[in-house]
């Protein structure tokens, strides 16, 4: 299955998400190729920070590259921040996971709406803003968009996990955090349910 993680929004958490998809694939021995945009080595650094995961990468459970090609793995995950240069990918991608923040201002020209799943990244404690986002989501659903049920927001546990070279759910007590539970659930949904409508 070919999956694109797409968002032109900077610092929305795309690298963190790609890193945790890599961790999940390694922990569950799911053969996966991660194709990063050129010049991005954040995911690579994060996954190689701990010897436990480095060994798994060496065993080719998860391959990391900047080059598109034919890979014999169960999943190929693309990191995309600009769809203008990806016309050759449009038909190849089975599912597009589009990261959005409080606003929905993302170019989706040419992408089949049936393949799109929106993932909200970032949280707010403002009740009025939460209501506005819920209303916006209702409208997006009326327009035919599918939205992952649980928002992903990146807590302090992410920073601690990076220092330890671990996935956030591997840090002691982190699993009590709703944010980390949602992150792990997202990875489970991608790999175990192949981005179906289970949590939509």
- Specify if 197 maps to a domain: no
- Specify if 200 maps to a domain: no
- Specify if 39 maps to a domain: yes
- Residues 121-176 pLDDT 10s: 876 656 676 777 778 778 778 888 898 988 888 888 888 998 888 999 999 999 89
pLDDT grade, residue 95 (50/70/90)? very high
- Specify if 199 maps to a domain: no
- Specify if 77 maps to a domain: yes
- The count of domains in the chain is 1
Instruction: Tell me the residue range of the domain where 97 lies.
Output: 2-192
pLDDT at 182: 92
The CATH number of residue 121's host domain is: 3.40.50.300
Name the pTM for this structure: 0.88
Residue corresponding to tokens 């990806």 = 86
- Specify if 47 maps to a domain: yes
By C-alpha distance, which of 113, 102, 95 is closest to 194? 95
- Specify if 112 maps to a domain: yes
Share of the chain above pLDDT 70, in %: 90
- Specify if 198 maps to a domain: no
Instruction: Name the burial class of residue 9, with classes exposed (0-12), middle (13-18) and buried (19+) by CB atoms within 10 angstroms of its CB.
Output: middle
Q: In the chain, which residue ranges form alpha helices assigned H by DSSP?
A: 14-27, 42-48, 51-58, 127-142, 156-164, 178-192
Number of residues that make up the chain: 200
């Amino acid at each position: 299955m070919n999956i694109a993680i797409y968002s032109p929004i900077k610092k929305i958490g795309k690298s963190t998400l790609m890193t945790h998809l890599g961790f999940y694939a390694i922990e569950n021995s799911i053969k996966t190729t991660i194709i990063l945009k050129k010049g991005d080595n954040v995911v690579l650094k994060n996954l190689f920070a701990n010897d436990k995961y480095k060994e798994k990468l060496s065993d080719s459970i998860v391959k990391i590259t900047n080059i598109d090609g034919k890979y014999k793995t169960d999943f190929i995950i693309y990191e995309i921040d600009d769809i203008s240069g990806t016309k050759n990918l449009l038909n190849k991608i089975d599912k597009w996971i589009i990261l959005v923040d409080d606003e929905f201002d993302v170019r989706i020209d040419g992408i089949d709406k049936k393949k799109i799943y929106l993932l909200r990244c970032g949280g707010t404690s403002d009740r009025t803003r939460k209501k506005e986002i819920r209303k916006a989501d209702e409208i997006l659903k009326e327009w035919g968009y599918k939205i992952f049920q649980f928002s992903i927001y990146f807590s302090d546990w992410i920073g601690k996990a990076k220092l330890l070279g671990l996935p956030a759910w591997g840090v002691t007590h982190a699993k009590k955090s709703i944010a980390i539970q949602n992150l792990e659930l997202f990875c489970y949904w991608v790999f175990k349910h192949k981005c179906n409508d289970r949590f939509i």
